[in-house]
């Protein structure tokens, strides 16, 4: 097909684009998004800073590319964790998923901050980021589906009222018809809890002597599994 025939110029462009993203990602990992500098990237690559604008029209565009890559990397890890967990054990799947998200965040703190931290003022996430961003959420949905037929809620879900009821049942119909709406709403709670914990831990915002370290994380993951009604693992 025609796309396979690439001129030397096209190949050079793709490679240099990759090269730029690679160096930018390196600087991002070391210094954070705040200190990521186009000029420094260009300097490191031995090119004029103005030449870099042939590849990324602005700093925001370069950041967007990094964001998409990061969402995909995280999404892939999450999907892999869920798919390699014991298939019939939704609690183990949830454990694997939350652990994977947390460890990725710890290994790539600045990229995590780029995804789930303070948004850059004036920056609006372009639509290309939506699909990659949804992958992690879909992995959680997958866990809920795996446990859909044998959830044992220890506590009845508070009735969903008003718009929330419509939104949640619409979401359920759209993405996981076999999942009970009440369970799905608890999935949102678990989802929030997971990212809340990771953000607190990574950004160092939890006050006091109890840092949300391994112990708190593991404990809360189990409490959330109970909250979701995921059946106990049978070892």
Partner DNA sequence: GGCAAACGAGAGCACTGCTCTCGAAAGAGA
Partner DNA sequence: TCTCTTTCGAGAGCAGTGCTCTCGTTTGCC
Nearer to DNA, 53 or 200 (CB): 53
Nearer to DNA, 58 or 83 (CB): 58
Least distance from a copy of itself to the Cβ atom of residue 119, Å:
5
Tell me which of 1, 3, 9, 208 binds DNA, using CB under 7 A: 9
Least distance from a copy of itself to the Cβ atom of residue 222, Å:
5
Nearer to a copy of itself, 21 or 185 (CB): 185
Nearer to a copy of itself, 24 or 197 (CB): 197
Indicate which of DNA, a copy of itself, none lies near residue 192 (CB less than 5 to 8 Å, by partner kind).
a copy of itself
Indicate which of DNA, a copy of itself, none lies near residue 98 (CB less than 5 to 8 Å, by partner kind).
none
Indicate which of DNA, a copy of itself, none lies near residue 51 (CB less than 5 to 8 Å, by partner kind).
DNA
CB 110 within 8 A of CB 33: yes
Within 25-64, the residues that bind DNA by CB under 7 A are 36-40, 46-51, 53-55, 57-60
Rounded distance between C-alpha atoms, residue 91 and residue 97, angstroms: 10
Contacts with DNA by CB under 7 A: the residue count is: 24
Query: Which positions lie near DNA, rule CB under 7 A?
Result: 7-9, 12-13, 16, 36-40, 46-51, 53-55, 57-60
């Amino acid at each position: 097909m025609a796309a396979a025939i690439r001129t030397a110029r096209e190949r050079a462009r793709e490679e240099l684009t990759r090269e730029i993203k690679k160096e930018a990602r390196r600087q991002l990992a070391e210094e954070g998004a705040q200190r990521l500098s186009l000029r420094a990237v260009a300097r490191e690559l031995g090119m004029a800073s103005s030449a870099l604008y042939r590849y990324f029209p602005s700093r925001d565009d370069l950041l967007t590319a990094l964001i998409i890559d990061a969402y995909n990397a995280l999404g892939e890890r999450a999907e892999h964790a869920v798919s390699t967990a014991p298939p019939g054990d939704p609690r183990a799947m949830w454990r694997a998923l939350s652990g994977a998200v947390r460890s990725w965040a710890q290994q790539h703190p600045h990229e995590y901050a780029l995804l789930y931290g303070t948004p850059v003022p004036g920056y609006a996430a372009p639509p290309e980021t939506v699909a990659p961003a949804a992958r992690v959420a879909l992995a959680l949905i997958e866990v809920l589906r795996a446990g859909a037929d044998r959830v044992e809620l220890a506590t009845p879900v508070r009735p969903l009222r008003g718009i929330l009821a419509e939104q949640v049942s619409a979401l359920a119909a759209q993405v996981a018809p076999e999942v009970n709406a009440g369970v799905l709403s608890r999935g949102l709670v678990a989802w929030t809890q997971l990212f809340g914990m990771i953000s607190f831990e990574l950004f160092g915002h939890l006050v006091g002597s109890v840092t949300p370290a391994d112990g708190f994380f593991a404990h809360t993951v189990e409490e959330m599994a109970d909250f979701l009604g995921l059946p106990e693992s049978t070892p």
